[in-house]
């Protein structure tokens, strides 16, 4: 078979494939998935999610178990989303040797429920003093935190208003609160809920939101000549966060899901490709060689058929602790039996064709006949079965990950579901943590099922209609 034949065959196949509507939607979905892998870092807020999924410092500014942002569209009480504000007006004053810088960040607050925390970030050099205050829409200016930094050498500074300004915000609220409500525990008051509420009676107990533009002011005293605080910004950990919310370890689920796409594609395609290639070659060889070789190969094949796949994979993963590549290899070692039976019977038919006889008469070697004359005819079938093996490979990997036996250096959908199961997402009803990963597994499975079934339909036209 020459290249031009393959090309012509491909176009014929494609012309027929185009007419199967769900097959086309499968192809489109597949391209969307590949596209998502390519633009991965542009569509997620945390592009390093794949490599730092288990690094808690990477996720520390996120809220715990926050629902997705679009929850606000359906609920009457709007929650403030997670946000990063970098834009600010900057001014500098010199008093002798000491410098005083002032950065003002504007924060629009049209929500009903305040963010859970507001965090100041920067990189400090020398021994600066950082003072944070907030100017509310009603004109009140509240001094929140005063944080001296000692002899830092460009290290990261992180000041959490939610943790460090409990007293200040309580005192502010207490001025307006009735004396009897004043007895409420200071530890019970959330600073952000006081700061973003109307200054009137009930601010500590039943706060009502004060909407408008807030100014967060970061004043920094720089005592030394070379002292500086650079790259300053505020992060808001909101009541809602990201497109798919966060989990109980503050990780952004959308970033995790997107990072999982490439692993799912890799696991599925590589396993299916390896397994089906082995299976097709094995089946054809068994059919062509015949005799005792065929019998022996069939006995080995039947041995593999008798293996319950998932239990063996589980035990092997539990004992050998494989990484993802070994796991793909392990799955391929058991998946190849799938196409063998069909391929062998097809091979037995092809073997009787006259051109095979002719090739044989010309003195072509067995390997030449198998690879040049028999396998090319089985290529359409192989692709169809390959497409149908992709979902099972993904599901098997996910099942092994669900038991906690997955490769812990990567992030797959199965591992996210494992975390959801052990993190109590099912019991606490954190649906945004449970539904998306499985939905994506199902979606990926559906994509390849569409493609595979469409090919199947073309290959077996008898089943189309009566």
Binding site for other proteins (CB under 8 A): 22, 302-303, 305-312, 314-316, 318-319, 390-392, 394-396, 398-399, 402-405, 417, 420-421, 426-427, 429, 431, 434-435, 437-438, 441-442, 444-446, 448-450, 453, 462-466
255, burial (CB in 10 Å: exposed 0-12, middle 13-18, buried 19+) = buried
The smaller minimum CB distance to other proteins, of residues 309 and 326, is found at: 309
Distance CA 256, CA 44 (A): 9
CB of 198 to other proteins, least distance (A): 35
CB of 269 to other proteins, least distance (A): 13
CB of 451 to other proteins, least distance (A): 10
The smaller minimum CB distance to other proteins, of residues 174 and 402, is found at: 402
The smaller minimum CB distance to other proteins, of residues 176 and 431, is found at: 431
The smaller minimum CB distance to other proteins, of residues 202 and 404, is found at: 404
Distance CA 163, CA 167 (A): 10
CB of 90 to other proteins, least distance (A): 49
The smaller minimum CB distance to other proteins, of residues 165 and 317, is found at: 317
3-class DSSP state of 464: coil
CB of 434 to other proteins, least distance (A): 5
The smaller minimum CB distance to other proteins, of residues 98 and 305, is found at: 305
The smaller minimum CB distance to other proteins, of residues 313 and 343, is found at: 313
DSSP class of residue 145 equals E
Strands, sheet with 212-222, edge to edge from the N-terminal-most edge strand = 89-95, 98-109, 212-222, 129-135, 141-148
Distance CA 398, CA 314 (A): 11
3-class DSSP state of 55: coil
The smaller minimum CB distance to other proteins, of residues 374 and 417, is found at: 417
CB of 456 to other proteins, least distance (A): 10
Token reading at 149: 């930094």
DSSP, residue by residue, 260-283: HHHHHHHHHHHHHHHHHHHHHHHH
Q: Give the HSE-up count for residue 94: Cα atoms under 13 Å, Cβ half-sphere.
A: 4
Please measure the distance between the N-terminal and C-terminal CA atoms of the chain and give it in whole angstroms: 35
CB of 277 to other proteins, least distance (A): 21
The smaller minimum CB distance to other proteins, of residues 37 and 434, is found at: 434
DSSP, residue by residue, 99-140: EEEEEEEEEEE--SB--SEEEEEEEEEES-EEEEEEE-TTS-
3-class DSSP state of 264: helix
CB of 44 to other proteins, least distance (A): 22
Strands, sheet with 228-237, edge to edge from the N-terminal-most edge strand = 83-85, 228-237, 117-126, 152-160
CB of 414 to other proteins, least distance (A): 8
């Amino acid at each position: 078979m020459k290249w031009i034949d393959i090309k012509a065959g491909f176009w014929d196949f494609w012309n027929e494939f185009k007419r199967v509507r769900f097959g086309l939607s499968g192809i489109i979905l597949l391209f969307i998935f590949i596209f998502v892998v390519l633009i991965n870092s542009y569509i997620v807020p945390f592009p390093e999610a794949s490599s730092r999924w288990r690094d808690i410092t990477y996720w520390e500014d996120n809220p715990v178990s926050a629902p997705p942002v679009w929850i606000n569209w359906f609920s009457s009480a709007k929650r403030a989303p997670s946000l990063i504000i970098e834009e600010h007006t900057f001014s500098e004053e010199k008093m002798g040797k000491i410098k005083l810088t002032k950065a003002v960040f504007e924060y629009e607050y049209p929500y009903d429920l305040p963010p859970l925390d507001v965090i100041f970030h920067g990189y400090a050099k020398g021994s600066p003093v950082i003072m944070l205050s907030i100017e509310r829409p009603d004109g009140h200016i509240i001094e929140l935190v005063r944080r001296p930094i000692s002899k830092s050498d460009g290290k990261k500074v992180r000041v959490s208003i939610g943790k460090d300004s409990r007293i200040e915000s309580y005192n502010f609220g207490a001025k307006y609160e009735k004396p009897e409500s004043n007895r409420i525990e200071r530890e019970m008051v959330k600073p952000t809920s006081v700061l973003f509420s109307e200054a009137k009676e009930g601010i500590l107990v039943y706060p009502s939101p004060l909407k408008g533009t807030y100014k967060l002011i970061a004043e920094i005293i720089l005592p030394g000549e070379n002292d500086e605080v650079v790259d300053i910004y505020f992060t808001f950990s909101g009541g809602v966060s990201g497109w798919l919310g966060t989990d109980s370890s503050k990780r952004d689920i959308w970033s995790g899901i997107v990072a999982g796409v490439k692993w799912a594609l890799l696991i599925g395609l590589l396993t299916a490709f390896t397994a089906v290639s082995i299976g097709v070659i094995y089946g054809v060889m068994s059919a062509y060689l015949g005799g005792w070789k065929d019998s022996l190969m069939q006995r080995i094949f039947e041995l593999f058929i008798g293996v319950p796949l998932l239990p063996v994979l589980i035990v092997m993963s539990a004992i050998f602790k494989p990484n993802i590549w070994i796991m793909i290899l392990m799955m391929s070692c058991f998946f190849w039996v799938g196409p063998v039976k069909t391929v062998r019977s097809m091979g037995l038919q092809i073997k009787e064709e006259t051109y095979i006889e002719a090739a044989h008469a010309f003195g072509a070697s067995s390997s030449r006949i198998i690879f040049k004359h028999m396998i090319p005819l089985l290529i359409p079938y192989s692709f169809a079965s390959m497409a149908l093996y992709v979902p099972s490979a993904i599901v098997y990997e996910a099942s092994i990950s669900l038991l906690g036996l997955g490769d812990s250096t990567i992030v797959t959908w199965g591992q996210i579901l494992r975390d959801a199961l052990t993190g109590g997402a099912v019991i606490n009803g954190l649906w945004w943590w449970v539904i998306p990963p499985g939905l994506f597994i199902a979606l990926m499975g559906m994509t390849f099922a569409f493609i595979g079934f469409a090919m199947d339909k073309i290959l077996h036209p008898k089943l189309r209609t009566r």
